[in-house]
Amino acid sequence: MSKLLIVADIEAACSATPRGLQLAELMDLQPEVVAFVYADLKRLKLGRADSASVKKQLLDQRRASVKAQVEKLAGRNQQVKVNVVWAEDIHSWIIKRARGDYAAVIKTRHPSESFGHTSTDWHLLRECSAPVLLVNKRKWKKGGLIMATVDLDAKTKTKQTLNVDVVMTARHYAEMLQTELAVLCVIDVPTFLADLDLIDPRSYAKERKQELQPVVEALAERTGLPLSRFQLKRGPVAKTIVSEAADKKAQLVVMGTVGRRGVRAQVLGNTVEEALGLLRTDTLTLKP
């Protein structure tokens, strides 16, 4: 049986735990809830025994708190593993753990980052091998649409396969939640060419739509979906994803992402990261 790794927040209003337990029950997956504790005990200038005692007390308190929350939320027949870890650098622990048999990592969304600091969310999005589901505080509503986004300009087999994985994953969630599925394909008009009047945005988008139609048809055939599920929209990719998610009242957006590392990841955000900074709905990201 595959597993779900659920990251519990310190705050009582943790969204990841209830969402993760709900999905684990629906998808027949084994839920593992992990919580983190850390304090710089060196500052207290305690002896080794006293330091160990304080550490144990903090771990025990956190474990009791998480277990109490899980007991309130878990299904009647759910067997939930609770793991409390002493760690300051939590993203490294999660990334290493997720290399196992995990269908997804589920975490409450905390997207803030600044130059010189990368949040846990962005580390997971860029480096975690398992799909990452970032959830907001809003509860899922019955009938809320699932939206997948794909890159029709993908040239490599890896990225084309990622498109298929994104659509099939979104389809699985839609079927599991018994809701509608929409696949969004954005036609990005080169702004600098339009600003120089070198292209007409509408004519360009119309021509691109005709060029991409065989790609859409091939993707529909590979995923077993009717063409009516696929929608081509013109506009900046990230902003169009956000506006369509809002217009359709999507409760989950599924997209593929290629992780970046180092200075390039710190300074340059890709389209997925730009969209995630604007989206106000749950997001599930997959890597090749």
Which of 88, 111, 135 is the last residue before a domain boundary?
135
Is 179 in contact with 225 (CB distance < 8 Å)?
A: no
Q: Average pLDDT in the 167-188 region?
A: 94
pTM for this entry: 0.89
Q: Based on the fold, state whether residues 15 and 109 are members of the same structural domain.
A: yes
Q: Based on the fold, state whether residues 119 and 158 are members of the same structural domain.
A: no
pLDDT band at 129 (very low <50, low <70, confident <90, very high): very high
Q: How many domains does the chain have?
A: 2
Percent of the chain residues past pLDDT 70, beyond the cut? 88
Q: Based on the fold, state whether residues 155 and 256 are members of the same structural domain.
A: yes
Domain assignment present for residue 278? The answer is yes
Q: Based on the fold, state whether residues 173 and 245 are members of the same structural domain.
A: yes
Which of 86, 109, 135 is the last residue before a domain boundary?
135
Encode pLDDT of 227-271 as tens digits. Answer: 999 999 988 889 999 999 999 999 999 999 875 555 444 433 567
Which of 83, 101, 135 is the last residue before a domain boundary?
135
Q: Based on the fold, state whether residues 94 and 157 are members of the same structural domain.
A: no
Domain assignment present for residue 244? The answer is yes
Domain assignment of residue 278, given as a range: 146-286
What CATH number has the domain bearing residue 102? Answer: 3.40.50.620
pLDDT band at 11 (very low <50, low <70, confident <90, very high): low
Q: Which two tokens stand for residue 163?
A: 């498109």
Domain assignment present for residue 95? The answer is yes
Q: What's the order of all strands across the beta sheet hosting 252-256?
A: 81-86, 30-37, 3-7, 102-108, 132-135, 282-286, 252-256, 146-150, 181-187, 230-234
Taking 70 as the threshold, does the pLDDT of residue 197 lie above it?
Answer: no
Q: Based on the fold, state whether residues 131 and 164 are members of the same structural domain.
A: no
Q: Based on the fold, state whether residues 151 and 121 are members of the same structural domain.
A: no
Q: Which H/E stretch holds residue 84?
A: strand 81-86
Q: Based on the fold, state whether residues 235 and 267 are members of the same structural domain.
A: yes
pLDDT band at 82 (very low <50, low <70, confident <90, very high): very high
Task: Please tell me which residue, 117 or 103, carries the higher pLDDT value.
Answer: 103
Q: Which two tokens stand for residue 284?
A: 């599930």
Domain assignment present for residue 141? The answer is no
Where would I find the H helices in 104-259?
120-127, 157-176, 191-195, 201-223, 237-247
Nearest to 245 by CA among 149, 176, 179: 149
| Dist. CA 49–CA 46, nearest whole Å | 8
